[in-house]
Every structure is written in C-alpha cells, then in structure tokens.
Amino acid sequence: MQKATEEIILSSRESSFLIRKFDRKGFLAPFHFHPEFELTYILEGRGKRFVGNNMSSFRENDLVLIGSNLPHCWKLAATEKIKAGSVVIQFTPEQFAPFMNNQIPEFNSINNLLRRSNNGIQFSEKIAGAMKKDIQSIFIEKDKFKRLLILLRILKSLSNTRQFTLLNRNDFVHSQSAHNRERLNKVNAYIIENFQENISLKKAAQIIGMTPNAFCKYYKNITRETLMETVINLRIDYAIQQLIETDKSITDICFESGFGDVSHFYKIFSSRMKMSPLRYRNKYQLEIG
C-alpha cells in the first residue's frame, strides 16, 4: 500500500537553493511532497506526471514548477528503454520570503508566480526550450552568486509569460488544513499507485484510520467527488492519453487503464467524452492529420 511520503531535503548553508541532476533512478521516487518549491526540467525520457490530482504526459523539454507541499511524481513509461534524466532546482519559502511578501517591489511578478505554483505550473514547450540554456548553465556554474542571478533570471522570465497550464485546479483541497492535506496526500498516493488495478474503499479508509462509511463522507466533503469518481476520472484520463499516443487496441487500453470489462469501459468513456473510444481516436487523428 503506497502512501504519499514527505521528502526530507538537506539544505546547504552555502547556498539559498539546491540544484540536482537525476538519471533514471530519480524517476523511481514515489508520490511525495516537501515544503520546498521545485522547478523540474526533463532532459530525457517520457511517461506520466502526477501533480496533485492531475495526470499528464511528459517528455523531453518538459518544464514544471511545483508549489510548497504539493504532492507530485514522474513515472517513466513502462516500455521506456532510452535514457532518462532531469535537472531539479529546489528552494524553500523561507529562503525566498522577500519575494513572496512583497518586500521587494521589483519581484512582484515572481511573487505571483510562486503563489500560482500552488496549483503546479507546466510551461509551454516553447518557453521550456527558451529556458534550457539557463537551466543547464546554472547546474555547471561554480560561482554561487552567479548561480543565484541565473535562478532569478529564470523565475523572472517564467513570471512574465502567459504560456503555461495550471495542473492541479482543486483549490479547495489546497485551502484545507495541513492535517486534511496530509490525509488526502496519503489517499491520493494509494490511488495513483493502484488505479490500474483494484482500488479498495476499505484500504483507502484504513490509510487514514477511518471506517469506510466515515471515509466516504469525509472524502466527498473535501474533494467534491466520491472515491470511485476520482478513480474513474483518472482511468479515463489515462485511456485518453493511450488512445492519442499509442496504436494499442481499445481492448488493451481498457484493461491497462484499470477497467475490468470492455462494455463498461465503452459506456463510461462515451458518457464522459460524448463519443466512443474509437471515434475519439479517429477524430483526434483527423484533427492532427
């Protein structure tokens, strides 16, 4: 049973932020959270990115800013054989407090950027490409002051663009108490790690020490949907990405997405998307063709 884990990041007294480069092993991290902001740039690899309640595909040149304590993880595609790597920059709210408290007017736009990051921000491929040189140079720069200037330049550039997508739009979840967010992180981790298999209401309730009946009321009160609605939405989102990105059969996609019956999959998919899986795939191929 997978739970959202809090990652402990060892800070350095010699720098106000950390920069690390990861290979394939870095993508093995479970669904986790930490108080630090995190800017992640994907150098190589592709797969699924989970940020809060959002699941999206990622590939090379993916750039995402994660807010403080927002759960996240990157999972490489199961068939992915090529190299994978990322550059990750992390800094705490305390270290960047002058920017977040409007103490320095020149950094108001960065302040707004960091506040938006509570939802997770994916920047467009064009913006990510424009940031690549700075992100690579900040990793190899030895002078700590110059590294800070590069980071500020990156954040300033990102704060000025409107070419981005907010990933986790459930503001009502982020506005919950720390205790409720911690509970939801644990449940969401269980869902993310197991949505392609059987999801047990009993197990989900046990994770946060509740009876199934109490859990159902608690979960819907906070998320505005039932546990199974969350699971089905995640499975449909996964199926949509498989229909678009692969040539797998509808039957294979059905079972890989966690549905146990093809006719049920067709019914659920058609109800949500207003068309069958096959028609959705054909429509998408016509639009891009």
How many angstroms separate the CA atoms of 270 and 279, rounded? Answer: 10
Instruction: With cut-offs at 50, 70 and 90, classify the pLDDT of residue 98.
Output: low
User: What's the chain's average pLDDT?
Assistant: 86
Residue 172: its pLDDT value, please? 54
> What confidence tens digit (pLDDT) does each residue in 31-55 have?
888 889 999 999 999 989 999 878 8
Kindly tell me if the per-residue pLDDT of 108 is higher than 90.
no
> What confidence tens digit (pLDDT) does each residue in 130-168 have?
999 999 899 888 898 999 999 999 999 999 999 999 997
Domain spanning 175-288: CATH 1.10.3730.10: no
Half-sphere exposure of 148 (CA within 13 A, CB side): 8
How many other C-beta atoms lie within 10 A of the C-beta of residue 183?
21
Average pLDDT of the residues in 57-83: 86
The yes-or-no answer to whether 5-166 and 175-288 have a common fold is no
Kindly tell me if the per-residue pLDDT of 171 is higher than 60.
no
Domains of the chain, by residue range, sit at 5-166, 175-288
Residue 257: its pLDDT value, please? 95
Q: What is the largest CA-CA distance in the chain?
A: 61
The CATH homologous superfamily for domain 5-166 is Regulatory protein AraC (2.60.120.280)
Instruction: With cut-offs at 50, 70 and 90, classify the pLDDT of residue 193.
Output: confident
